[in-house]
Structure 1
Amino acid sequence: MTREMRVKVNTCIRYFVLIVVGLVMIYPLIWMVGATFKSNNEIFGGIGFWPKNPTLSGYKSALKSYGGDINIFKAMLNTYEIVLPKVVFTVVSATITAYGFARFQFRGKNLLFAVLMSTLFLPQVVLNVPQFIMYNQFGWIDSPIYLALVIPALFATDTYFVFMLIQFLRNIPKELEEAAEIDGCNSFKTLIHVIVPMLKPSIVSCALFQFMWTSNDFMGPLLYVNTPGRYPASIFVKMSMDADAGFEWNRVLAMSLISIIPSLIVFFLAQDSFIDGIAAGGVKG
């Protein structure tokens, strides 16, 4: 077998393996789409995608109001009232904090950085009780604008994103900032006009991670949101599961599918920058 033939065979094998693995990974999502058109009995009758007796009862039930003055669309609106400001606040605070640690020297820097990194090892369940007591004293519990869920993002509380951006900043030559300083830029202007454009892939990665994590967050809204009319989609889907009357799984799956569509759209629109950001992060530590 010639060298060219071996290369073609190896390429075909790689693509075949990638296609098979890709289909295995994406099939649960494909199955969920088909299951929204099935009855309960058919859902548990097999793992096939195509429904034998298609029905729209799942979507009709999903559009009904459960829990008083809330439906799936109001729940999704509530979700993005939390997600959008939290993403913006996280990107701004994490970028500023990472810039400070990566580029400036100040007393206690190493100690503060060690404390910051140590918070990565704290499970959220350990923080729930003290945070709830503190936010309750602040009057943030069940706030109409979700203060308990949004305001902490202003203070770079998501340490993972700070650490990620610091790693990216180490790849940016300091000579660029020195050139900007010669041109009359102060630290803030250098950050805005030099650093942020070069950090765009990593900032998009941070924004996407926060977008997906916050959209899927269940424990935060469960703790800090008490009014059913303000529940996000993650809580609303759980509310729709009536254990006494039995689950209508096609309704639950239809609600889940409707609620994740915006996240899928955002991911596919930003996937190029996201992939660039992840790839760049592996170049240097």
Structure 2
Amino acid sequence: MASVARSILKKPVKISLVQLLSGTDKAANLKHAASQVAKAASGGSNIVVLPECFNSPYGTEHFPKYAEPLLPLPPVKDQAPSYYALSAMAAENNVYLIGGSIPELNPSTKKHYNTCLIFGPDGALLSIHRKTHLFDIDIPGKVTFRESEVLSPGNKVTLVDFPEYGKIAVAICYDIRFPELATIAARKGAFALIYPGAFNLVTGALHWKLLAQARAVDNQIYVGMCSPARVLDSSYPAWGHSMILDPMAAVLAEAQEDEAIIESELNEEKILETRRNIPLETQRRFDVYPDVSAGKVAYEEPDLVG
């Protein structure tokens, strides 16, 4: 885990999570997202987060229809409206924007991905995260879903440097169930783990808050979970309950099921206090188990370099 002796979060930062209602009209979804990002920014937030699949309905039947070709970078404008809309949202509001996720098509391989685009306050693309773990589950009589029928997985741990503040780790939804990504990010100095995610009514009730608290308390950093708002008559109603947690796993802000913007100020002292009080860093037993962050961790995929 990051040393308490060095700066993890250089100065306090205000973050907003935007819980959105999205429909079948991509242009309308982008316009609505832009209005909500502007609203969050007007409240003083420096970092704004959108939910998973904010520009489209969530579902394997929808991914190919709504997918945009992003490569080679920069993409063709009329083929990638979501890319340029997110860039504009960041620049027009002078915020770091973690753009939830959108369906992506790689034109050269014909593969589809669930992809998060992260932009800086000048509108420049900072990083891309493709969902690393695909949501393939079967809970008899409750929910069956197989993203792998359409999607391919990404292959990296995504750490993004926001120069004024520090590093943020970004992953998507089902990625939160795999603690290795979070452990690596924390040990590499991240001050927050951000998960755009669309849990359903079954898994959301079971584990949404539990997993968020686990990642926070295991790694002693902030966690943000950003969900779509719930639409009960959709093919995949999202759980909602976007939330921000502190390094002790206390919930700082939480939405309910409807559209909402939640916000909180993150500060380094809470991270340092947590690590002083419960000094996991100095108590780790790497003589008994290996340090996963010391392995061959990929941070860039060659085909994402523009």
TM-score bracket, shorter-length normalisation: under 0.3
Bigger Cα Rg: 1
Q: Give the number of the structure whose residues are more often strand, by fraction.
A: 2
Q: TM-score, normalised by structure 2?
A: 0.25
Q: Comparing both chains, which one has the higher relative contact order based on Cα–Cα distances under 8 Å and sequence gaps of 6 or more?
A: 1
**More helix as a share of residues:** 1
Provide the TM-score with structure 1 as the length reference: 0.26
